């Protein structure tokens, strides 16, 4: 399963101390993001990891790179979960089950997603930029199957689906709120649930 955020695919092997330092930095960043939020000084991450600050910049040129690396595993898990759901009996339920996991993921990392916005590209959050590709392909397959089953509107694109879903997750006050907002969006403000009947 291809996933975003996997660092380093260079040819020759990396020196063992460099590999160890990268791991220490990731562990320190994970801890400090939890403890003090996504704006924690990068020097502090380096200090806790026991390396010089410039070493952090060598491995992770921007704060965003660090954030993405820290949560790469979780994104991979989410995509794997989506791959498993592609076999589920009900294509409609499969899609919305995955979206449910997705909004929880985004809502939980909300602060990090916003902190990862770059100055030059203020239109996109870190989630939408770096993790978007793998998320998008996962969502795309689930959506296509749900569409064939008639469980979603034929005109709904993946991009719109993901934009709306992550927008709701970012606007939500927490994971539970995000899941509730997703349920509302599924049937719309008008609340119509009729005509489509029991599909899938």
Partner DNA sequence: ACCTGAACACCGTTCAAGT
Alpha-carbon distances, residue 28 vs 19, 70, 105, 184 (angstroms): 14, 10, 21, 38
Residue 198 engages a copy of itself in binding (rule: CB under 8 A): no
- In the set 6, 18, 90, 180, which binds DNA (CB under 7 A)? 18
Q: What angle do CA 125, 129, 135 make, to 5 degrees?
A: 110
Q: Comparing C-alpha atoms, which of 38, 7, 10 is closest to residue 108?
A: 38
58 binds, among a copy of itself, DNA, none (CB under 5 to 8 A by kind): DNA
Cβ 134 to a copy of itself shortest distance, Å? 18
Q: List the x/- string, 71-110, binding to a copy of itself by CB under 8 A.
A: ---------------------------------------x
User: 92 near 146, Cβ under 8 Å?
Assistant: yes
Residues 6+ apart with CB under 8 A from 178: 103, 104, 106, 107, 168, 169, 172
Q: Cβ closer to a copy of itself: 10 or 190?
A: 190
Is there binding between residue 124 and DNA (CB under 7 A)? Answer: no
Indicate which single residue of 8, 133, 148, 187 sits in contact with a copy of itself (rule: CB under 8 A): 187
Which chain residues interact with DNA by CB under 7 A? 14-15, 17-18, 21, 39, 41-43, 50-55, 57-59, 62-63
């Amino acid at each position: 399963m291809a996933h975003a955020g996997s660092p380093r695919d260079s040819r020759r092997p990396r020196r063992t101390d460099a590999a160890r330092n990268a791991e220490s930095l990731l562990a320190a960043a994970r801890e400090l993001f939890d403890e003090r939020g996504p704006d924690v000084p990068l020097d502090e991450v380096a200090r806790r990891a026991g390396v010089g600050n410039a070493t952090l910049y060598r491995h992770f040129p921007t704060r965003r790179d660090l954030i993405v690396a820290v949560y790469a595993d979780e994104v991979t898990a989410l995509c794997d979960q989506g791959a498993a759901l592609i076999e589920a009996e009900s294509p409609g339920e499969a899609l919305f089950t995955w979206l449910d996991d997705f909004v929880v993921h985004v809502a939980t990392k909300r602060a990090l997603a916003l902190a990862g916005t770059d100055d030059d590209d203020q239109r996109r959050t870190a989630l939408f930029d770096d993790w978007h590709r793998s998320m998008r392909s996962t969502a795309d397959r689930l959506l296509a199957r749900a569409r064939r089953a008639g469980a979603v509107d034929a005109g709904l694109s993946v991009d719109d689906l993901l934009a709306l879903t992550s927008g709701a997750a970012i606007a939500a006050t927490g994971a539970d709120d995000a899941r509730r907002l997703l349920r509302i969006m599924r049937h719309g403000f008008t609340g119509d649930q009729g005509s489509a009947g029991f599909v899938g």
